[in-house]
């Protein structure tokens, strides 16, 4: 059911650096044209929901759209990173492969590989034809109607109480804005000077100094301790699995065990076959972790063996020194004794 949209061949480039103005604007306009045509074909009321996914977020994307379709029929556009096939049973869904948007000269941080991928979220600002756009991360689960998300004007987002509890900053897992060619130009022109320390989140926080606060329930971060108490609360509309994804095994924090019921809310949207597939992935992850542990343990066992052997060697050397000292001392004592006897 997913409509696969394509950028014209000359724009389907490998990636776009944020200081390459010509390519940035050409690709942005290309995305706008293709998406504009699709929206004109599918009708709708001028509202659009955009999301972003690389292949490792496919399970998240499946569930996000499935849960969204229980409460909303607004068209959904998937910005796809990489060429992989995405299928979904939901109507009014289109996908378009976009080139990864990268910060010129900045390589991916090996500890946070997703940060640079998420920069491509900014392609959402290429689109200018809808009246209002809401962006929703593929690791979100829609629990209740998202009323209020697409209302109003300007840029709107919910505060990030996890990363930025000292600052007043918003989380970029869910936000809405009124698109325009002017907004696109202003954002993309300033892009090279905006910090990418936190991926798209720091870019957008630096750019939108004025923002309207959405209710926390429209982007409730899983890691916020309160989420447990509020999970059943009627104010909780969108649950954002950050950090820690329900389709990836392995707790990232001891507190995660306490949050396990939230994972059940997510898996409830899977068919039996999909659930088995997710479990198979979990088992694969666990196997990989176990293999790492075994390799690590045997390496460090070897290390400890060497350290123990070295320690023993040093202890024996020290023992020998003591014994030699003692022998010397008793020899001296004997000499003194002999001397005293002979004199006496
Ligand atoms: C956080 C946000 C996510 C964003 C990422 C990178 O994980 O939850 O939405 O894409 O930071 O900025
Ligand atoms: Mn997210």
pLDDT in tens, 279-316: 888 777 777 766 666 665 666 566 556 666 777 788 78
Is the CB of residue 217 less than 8 Å from the CB of residue 199?
Answer: no
* Beta pairing partners, 140: 240
Whole-prediction pTM: 0.81
Instruction: State the pLDDT at residue 50.
Output: 98
For 230, the token pair is 């509020």
Pocket test for ligand 1, best of 137, 204, 241 (most atoms within 8 A of CB): 137
Q: Which residue has its alpha carbon closest to ligand 1 atom 6?
A: 199
Give Cα separations from 123 to 24, 35, 54, 147, 200 (angstroms): 9, 12, 14, 24, 11
Instruction: State the pLDDT at residue 152.
Output: 96
Distance separating alpha carbons of residues 195 and 161, to the nearest angstrom: 20
Residue 54 Cβ contacting ligand 1 at under 6 Å: no
Residue 136 Cβ contacting ligand 1 at under 6 Å: no
DSSP string, 30-98: HHHHHHHHHHHHH--SSEEEEEEEEGGGHHHHHHHHHHHHTT----EEEEEESS-----S-SSEEEEE-
Residue 172 Cβ contacting ligand 1 at under 6 Å: yes
Summarize pLDDT for 120-150 with one digit per residue, the tens.
Answer: 999 999 999 999 999 999 999 999 999 999 9
Is the CB of residue 140 less than 8 Å from the CB of residue 55?
Answer: no
DSSP 333: H
Summarize pLDDT for 207-224 with one digit per residue, the tens.
Answer: 999 999 998 889 988 776
Q: Is 259 exposed, middle or buried (0-12, 13-18, 19+ CB in 10 A)?
A: buried
Task: Between 6 and 167, name the one with better pLDDT.
Answer: 6
């Amino acid at each position: 059911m997913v409509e696969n949209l394509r950028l014209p061949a000359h724009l389907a480039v490998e990636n776009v650096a944020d200081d390459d103005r010509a390519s940035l604007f050409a690709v942005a306009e290309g995305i706008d044209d293709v998406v504009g045509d699709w929206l004109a074909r599918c009708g709708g009321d001028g509202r659009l929901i955009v999301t972003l996914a690389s292949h490792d977020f496919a399970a998240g994307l499946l569930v996000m759209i499935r849960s969204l379709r229980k409460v909303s029929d607004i068209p959904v556009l998937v910005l796809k990173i990489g060429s992989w096939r995405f299928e979904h049973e939901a109507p009014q869904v289109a996908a378009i492969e976009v080139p990864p948007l990268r910060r010129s000269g900045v390589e991916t941080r090996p500890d946070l590989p997703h940060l640079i991928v998420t920069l491509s979220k900014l392609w959402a600002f290429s689109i200018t034809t809808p009246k209002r756009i809401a962006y929703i991360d593929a690791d979100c689960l829609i629990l209740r109607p998202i009323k209020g998300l697409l209302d109003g004007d300007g840029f709107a987002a919910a505060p990030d109480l996890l990363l930025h509890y000292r600052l007043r900053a918003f989380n970029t897992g869910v936000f809405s804005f009124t698109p325009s060619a002017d907004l696109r130009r202003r954002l993309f022109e300033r892009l090279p000077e905006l910090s990418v320390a936190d991926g798209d989140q720091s870019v957008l926080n630096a750019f939108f100094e004025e923002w309207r606060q959405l209710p926390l329930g429209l982007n409730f971060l899983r890691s916020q301790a309160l989420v447990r108490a509020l999970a059943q609360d009627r104010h909780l509309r969108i649950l954002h699995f950050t950090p820690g994804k329900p389709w990836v095994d392995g707790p990232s924090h001891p507190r995660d065990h306490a949050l396990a019921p939230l994972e059940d809310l997510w898996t409830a949207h899977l068919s039996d076959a999909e659930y088995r597939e997710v479990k198979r992935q979990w088992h694969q992850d666990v196997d990989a972790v176990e293999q790492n542990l075994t390799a690590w343990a045997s390496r460090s066992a070897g290390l400890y063996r060497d350290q123990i052997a070295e320690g023993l060697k040093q202890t024996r050397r020290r023992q020998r020194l003591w014994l030699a000292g003692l022998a010397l001392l008793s020899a001296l004592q004997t000499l003194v004794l002999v001397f005293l006897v002979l004199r006496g």
